[in-house]
Amino acid sequence: MTQLALVIDLNVCVGCHACVTSCKEWNTSGPAGPLSDSDPYGANPSGTFFNRVQTFEVGTFPNTATVHFPKSCLHCEEPPCVPVCPTGASYKRKEDGIVLVDYDKCIGCEYCSWACPYGAREIDAKQKVMKKCTLCVDRIYSTTLPEADRRPSCVMACPTSARLFGDVHDPESVVSKAIRESAGYALMPEWGTQPANHYLPRRKTTMTIHEDELMRVDNPLKIDGKLPKPSKQQPTLDDSTSW
């Protein structure tokens, strides 16, 4: 079974929110929209987003680092939001593993929001139904778009290519390779939800260099010794040139 997912490389995510805004732009005008906002330019902005960036500190001062953590629906293989939905509006597609909400069946009881361990579900204050990331299902299968553009909007927008998209069940896919080769991990695996989306951890490139490795063994000055200092009576460069 295909299981489409995102793999997000935390090592190169710079927290620019391009994924957030591109997601909002695409989805607010598509079948998943509108993602309504309230007071967007005021003191207490509020609105519906499929994707948000969390930021957290790692380490203890002064040895700290900031991690930007984009989070959207993780399209779990065992999604806890699906069995709790009283009307069956939340469902998981068999063909590609995307978890979706049928807006026409959702009664807005928000019980799925209680069940999601990742806080990925939001109610649209105007449409009054639950919304979440669709993996741009209207985009990735769109025949009106060029092949190269049939990827989720957030993946297209990421300036550092921190977001990868593909089938995590296909061992040769770009996402499977990234998970395999860069120690990709799932968020909170202890819940047994088997999130399809994975994260690549922060990686620091370090190497050990010994002091002797910093010395040039073939330094010509070392071999030949220092050249003798010319005496003050010797002609200078100016004397020996014609100008």
Partner 1 sequence: MSSTSFSRNESRYFYALAALGLFIVFLGYLGMHQMEEHGHIVSGMNNQIVWGLPHVFAIFMIVAASGVLNIGSIGTVFGQAPYKIRTPLAAIIAVGLLAGGLAVLMLDLGRPDRIIIAATYFNPTSVFAWNIFLYSGFFGLAVVYLWTSMEKRMYVWSKPVGLAMFAWRVILTSGTGLIFAFLVVRQAYASALLPPMFIVLSFAWGMAVFLLVQAAMFAWNNKILDPAILKRMKNLLGLFVISSLYLVAAYHMTNLYFAKQTGFELFILRDGGIYPMMFWGGYILIGSLIPAALIYTPGLGGTKSVVTASALVVFGSFALLYVFIIGGQAYPLSIFPGYEVSSSFGDGQIAKYIPSLPEALLGFGGLAIAYLITLIGTRVFNTMPHDAAVVAAKNDA
Task: Rule CB under 8 A: say whether 159 interacts with partner 1.
Answer: no
Four-residue CA torsion sign, 141, 166, 160, 162:
positive
155, 164 contact by CB (below 8 A): yes
Task: Report the DSSP beta bridge partners of residue 92.
Answer: 99
Task: Rule CB under 8 A: say whether 16 interacts with partner 1.
Answer: no
For partner 1, what does the binding mask look like between residues 23 and 62, x meaning CB under 8 A?
Answer: -------------x-x-------x--x--xxxxxxx----
Task: Rule CB under 8 A: say whether 189 interacts with partner 1.
Answer: no
Task: Rule CB under 8 A: say whether 65 interacts with partner 1.
Answer: no
The counts of H helices and E strands in the chain are: 8, 11
Instruction: State the nearest-atom distance from the C-beta of 52 to partner 1, in Å.
Output: 5
For partner 1, what does the binding mask look like between residues 81 and 120, x meaning CB under 8 A?
Answer: --xxxxxxx---------------xxxxxxx-xxxxxxx-
The residue (of 52 and 177) whose beta carbon lies closer to partner 1 is 52
Sheet holding 4-9, edge to edge: 163-167, 4-9, 198-200
DSSP one-letter code for 158: -
Q: What is the CA radius of gyration of the chain?
A: 28
Task: Rule CB under 8 A: say whether 74 interacts with partner 1.
Answer: no
Part of the chain binding partner 1 (CB under 8 A), chosen from 76-84, 134-142, 163-171, 234-242: 76-84
